[in-house]
Amino acid sequence: MASAVAAAVRPSNVRLGRAIRRYGWTGAVYALFAALMVTTVLIKPDYGAFEWNTLTLAALPLAFAAAAQTMVVLSGGIDLSVGPLMALANVLALRAMLGHDLNYSLGVALIVL
């Protein structure tokens, strides 16, 4: 005799609750980012494509450092020096390059690296 077992259908609110528990922090980060961008546009209404591009290019080195730090942490180690070192290098490079031409700025960037 064949017995048919009906598959239990989970209510959608159970699936939604599981998704919120699993991806809640990711959604919160996206919501915070969106709120910051809306606030930026409200403060400075002429915030355009050039500013978005500049912001992206300025954040890119820190994003690479964060990816490198993620690999260190996932492998079981911890290295707290990456973030402060990147911040120090950014500040030193900015202070040294302020008001100079491209050749001088490239030289300072090579020295700081």
Higher pLDDT, 10 or 33: 33
In a domain, 107, yes or no: yes
Total number of domains constituting the chain:
2
Domain check: are 107 and 64 in the same one?
yes
* Mean pLDDT value of segment 33-43: 91
Per the domain annotation, does 33 fall within a domain?
yes
**Residue 5 located in a structural domain:** no
pTM over 0.75: no
pLDDT digits (tens, 9 = 90+) for 41-100: 899 989 888 888 888 878 877 777 778 778 888 888 777 777 787 788 778 777 777 787
Q: Are residues 42 and 62 in the same domain?
A: no
Could you tell me if 63 and 111 lie in one domain? yes
pLDDT digit string (tens) for 3-19?
Answer: 555 555 566 677 878 88
62 in any annotated domain: yes
Task: Give how far Cα 95 sits from Cα of 36, 58, 87, 91, Å.
Answer: 27, 15, 12, 6
For residues 101 and 62, membership in a common domain is answered with yes
Q: How confident is the model at residue 32 (pLDDT cuts 50, 70, 90)?
A: very high
What is 6-23 written as a DSSP string?
Answer: PPPPPPHHHHHHHHHHHH
Are residues 81 and 41 part of one domain? no
